[in-house]
A and B are shown apart, each in its own frame.
Chain A
Amino acid sequence: MSEAILEIRHLSKAFGAHVVLRDIDFTVRPGDVTSIIGASGSGKSTLLRCVNLLETPTSGEILFHGRDVTGRGMNAASYRSKVGMVFQSFNLFNNMTVLENCMVGQTKVLKKSKEEARQNAMKYLEKVGMAPYINAKPRQISGGQKQRVAIARALAMEPEVLLFDEPTSALDPEMVGEVLAVMRDLANEGMTMLVVTHEMAFARDVSNHVVYMADGVICEEGEPKELFAHPKQARTREFLSRFTGQVSGD
């Protein structure tokens, strides 16, 4: 087995007295597509935000290639430039065009030249089908388009892992498909992805590892086919039964 990119060890997070995550353990290896599923409020998003250090874990370790990134001496910015993130609410920079959104990280953080950044940005914008819109401002494009640009922006940094925080939850149903299609392509190309999602079909068909979370703990995890077909825990079964209509597409 190849060396892990990310190892989460005994991760806990509390907001004051409210404990959101309890003793989370899991590992992400190169090429893994891990889906984190669970009810709202189960801590999925907080977990992902902790992985990207947007939230400071209360205790536990996040090892990136074996090095703990939660320590005081660590440079969070340089770690984040290697771990891309796609948000539920897109978070495109409103003061920049689509192209500038995909270039700014490369020029400011990776110190690439304008021309190199531009070419790279175009490559990924073409990949997500947004190349014609490079001159548009975020306010001028639809939600699905924004999310595709956000994916291109993250990809343009050429991250080792890409985190998705409910990337389709803020989208109209008819726009979900275009974003999922892009994510499916990425998974097929071997991109390492960690996806918090409510799209059970995506979790089952695209990912190779599914984590079911409930009340801040990992309740069950495993192969998607196995977990969806034969959930071991009663809570998992109950949760999945709500989605039977959505999943039984085959």
Chain B
Amino acid sequence: MDKLVKLGQDVVLLWSKYWPMYLGGIRNTLILALVATVIGCIIGLICGILNTIPYTKNDPLPKRFLLKLIRVVVRVYVEVFRGTPMVLQAVFIYYGLPYFSDNALKFTGLTGTWVAAIIVVSINTGAYMAESVRGGIISIDPGQTEGAKAIGMTHVQTMTSVILPQALRNIMPQIGNNFIINVKDTSVMFIIMFTEFFAAHRYIVGVNNMYFPSAAIEMIGYLTMTLTASFLLRWVERRMDGADSYELVQTDALTMTAGTYTHPGKAEDVLERNLEEERGK
């Protein structure tokens, strides 16, 4: 018990002294995770779409070759970035650029670290999302594609209007997963001097050696971020699903005379009665 009280005192002490640093870290972590997840999703979407462009034997050879090539490139990208640690990718890109350009191009200063961090996390997220999007697209009933084709939609129109909105809904939990993973895994970006939440901890304990109390603050901080994210994502998912009920448009003369309801009540009552009738039919 004493220890817990002591821990509480230390946490308060640390927080009161270094809260701008912790909060700054949280802010940077959230911005990086959010931006990188969004960019990663866009990369994933593009890869997923490119990967699922259909081609038949009748298509001209250049088109088939190009599509095959795209699939190979995407495959290589996914395997390389999914198969190596992000911390290493960060180092690889951060130091690789000046190495290859003879120091002509490098990630300098604060902007440099931000750019490098966003690139690394985005590319990493994109590699995971590419597979999620592909899974999301192939999980949609082929009938949806056929329905869209049958009214003359092109592949792009079918994708943007019909398939992707449904695939996106299905992969929302995956996007959420990726965001939460990013919130936590951006902590490895300290390796390229990016000052996120965990970097704040590293700096603070370097000054005063209060490892455990600072780690406790970090634990609480990360958990708060991820729990909030989970909660918001659930809310977004519910929004995407839309209402469970719908309103009947009562201006139609046919339904008025068809005896679907006897006296106009609240919209829900009418709806319920109609649904019951449908079921009973």
Contacts and interface: CB of A to CB of B under 8 A. Distances in A.
B151 A105 contact: yes
Interface residues of B, number: 33
B224 interface: no
B150 A84 contact: yes
A62 to B, nearest CB: 14
B153 A109 contact: yes
B16 interface: no
Contact of A109 (B157, B247, B255, B278): B157
Contacts of A54: 146, 149-150
Given A91-B144, A131-B249, A135-B249, A81 B152 contact: yes
B250 to A, nearest CB: 7
Interface string B128-159: 00000000000001011011111111100100
B144 A132 contact: no
A140 to B, nearest CB: 6
Contacts of A145: 278
B161 A108 contact: yes
A105 B249 contact: no
A71 to B, nearest CB: 9
Given A94-B166, A129-B254, A136-B246, A109 B143 contact: no
Interface string B103-115: 0000000000000
B108 to A, nearest CB: 46
B162 A95 contact: yes
Contacts of B144: 91, 93-94
Interface string A122-142: 000010010111111100111
Contacts of B143: 87, 89-91
Nearest to A172: B281
Given A56-B58, A91-B146, A95-B162, A131 B154 contact: no
A242 interface: no
Contacts, number: 101
A80 B147 CA distance: 11
Given A56-B56, A95-B169, A134 B242 contact: no
B71 to A, nearest CB: 21
- Of the listed residues A90, A94, A109, the one surrounded by the most CB atoms of chain B closer than 10 A to its CB is A94
A95 B255 CA distance: 26
Contacts of B62: none
Contacts of B146: 54, 87, 91
A181 interface: no
B276 interface: no
Given A91-B146, A132-B255, A109 B151 contact: yes
A81 B150 CA distance: 7
A159 to B, nearest CB: 9
A137 B247 CA distance: 11
Contacts of B255: 132
A171 to B, nearest CB: 12
A186 interface: no
Contacts of A131: 249, 252, 254
B149 A77 contact: yes
Contacts of B246: 97, 133, 135-137, 140
A84 B281 contact: no
Contact of A93 (B58, B148, B149): B148
Interface string A39-79: 00000000000001010100000000000000010001111
B251 to A, nearest CB: 8
B216 interface: no
A129 B254 CA distance: 8
A92 interface: yes
B161 A87 contact: no
B248 interface: yes
Nearest to A98: B246
B60 interface: yes
Contacts of A140: 245-246
Interface string B160-173: 01100110010000
Interface string B210-253: 00000000000000000000000000000000100111111010
* 10 nearest CB pairs, A to B: A81-B152, A91-B147, A105-B151, A85-B150, A91-B143, A136-B246, A109-B152, A95-B165, A135-B246, A80-B152
22 contacts: A79-B152, A80-B150, A80-B151, A84-B151, A87-B143, A91-B143, A91-B144, A91-B150, A92-B147, A93-B144, A95-B166, A126-B252, A129-B254, A131-B249, A132-B249, A132-B254, A133-B249, A135-B247, A136-B246, A137-B242, A142-B278, A153-B151
